[in-house]
Chain A
């Protein structure tokens, strides 16, 4: 057979293009649409919509800032309760700090709200912030090992066994609610008050609030909510259940969320 090098290359090139292009073209023409981009994510449809899940349990929290403003020290009490129950270490320095729930001023909590001429009580009060347990959590999408995942009841939880400490989730979280264990936390846990029923973490994993999944399983309220007692400063419950207390509170009050424009759909609401 008499075939020139140039001809051979031409035919080979055309065949390659046809072979690669044909299936894609057929898919496109037969289905009449482009195939959806498959996210290599563990969000399980969380990213499908920016609307809140209309069905099923969705656990959420309302923080009533009016009560926290009126009762000095209550927020600190919540933080202490949480950090004790979950064996959160205290390194005693800002750099290594691990925080599950903590206080920040208005402008840090609500960065997209106007701070121009804000009223006096917003100026002075500090807001409790914690993981928002977003309905559309960016951290879950970022995690390469599925160490952080969204449960059916809306809680964004973590499996520390799987965490490789890449900190993608920390970069992904628009609220900065995740902390990294730069050091072994064990020696920095209060040896008097620590909770023997709950594990600690190890060096090199990220941690955050878990909405007290372990306590909820035992029919207890989250530790911070429990610390508030009957002050009504924090209300926890299922917002998809129209008869729950939290649904009533949400229906009766004007609430704000942190950075709602991002479409993460936070589950923590604030009454300011």
Chain B
């Protein structure tokens, strides 16, 4: 190889720089998201673990039931009835989108487009 004495150290430096973020954050998971739970309510419509992993599926199912089958039967948890709705259901308890939704969505770098159409609680636009 011609100029190996330049190329190989150059490559090493390049790889080291390119992978710098990995080295730097080694063993550090970053700040875990901590969504704010609603006050005064302890039980969601499904167990917390299910909600954590599958809330998007639940919302999709609700949407199809409500829109297509016209089934708007509220979900009852501990005697409290919740509407099958993002705006008029979920967000009644989880009032603050920034402290609840965004907390994990930002961490996971997902950008759902719910709020293009749906209103945030107390939204002034």
Residues of A bordering B, CB below 8 Å: 149, 151-153, 157, 159-161, 186-187, 189, 191, 196-197, 199-202, 213, 217
Contacts and interface: CB of A to CB of B under 8 A. Distances in A.
B54 interface: no
Interface of B: 63, 67-68, 70, 72, 87-88, 113, 116-119, 123-125
A196 B68 CA distance: 22
A158 to B, nearest CB: 8
Contacts of A151: 68, 70
Contacts of B117: 160, 199-202
A210 to B, nearest CB: 10
Contacts of A187: 125
A196 B72 contact: no
A201 B125 CA distance: 14
A149 B68 contact: yes
Given A161-B63, A199-B119, A191 B70 contact: no
B87 A157 contact: no
Nearest to A158: B67
Contacts of A186: 116, 125
Contacts of B72: 217
A150 to B, nearest CB: 10
A217 B87 contact: no
Given A196-B119, A201-B117, A157 B67 contact: yes
Contact of B68 (A159, A160, A217): A159
Contacts of A161: 63
Contacts of B70: 151-153, 213, 217
A199 B63 contact: no
Contacts of B68: 149, 151, 159
Contacts of A213: 70
8 contacts: A151-B70, A152-B70, A196-B119, A197-B87, A199-B87, A199-B118, A202-B113, A202-B117
Nearest to A160: B117
Max count, chain A CB within 10 A of own CB: residue among B70, B87, B113, B118: B70
Max count, chain A CB within 10 A of own CB: residue among B67, B88, B113: B67
Given A160-B117, A201-B117, 7 more contacts: A159-B68, A186-B116, A186-B125, A191-B125, A196-B87, A197-B87, A199-B118
Contacts of A197: 87-88
B117 to A, nearest CB: 4
Given A202-B117, A217-B72, A159 B67 contact: yes
A202 B63 contact: no
A157 B118 CA distance: 18
Contacts of B87: 196-197, 199
Nearest to B125: A186
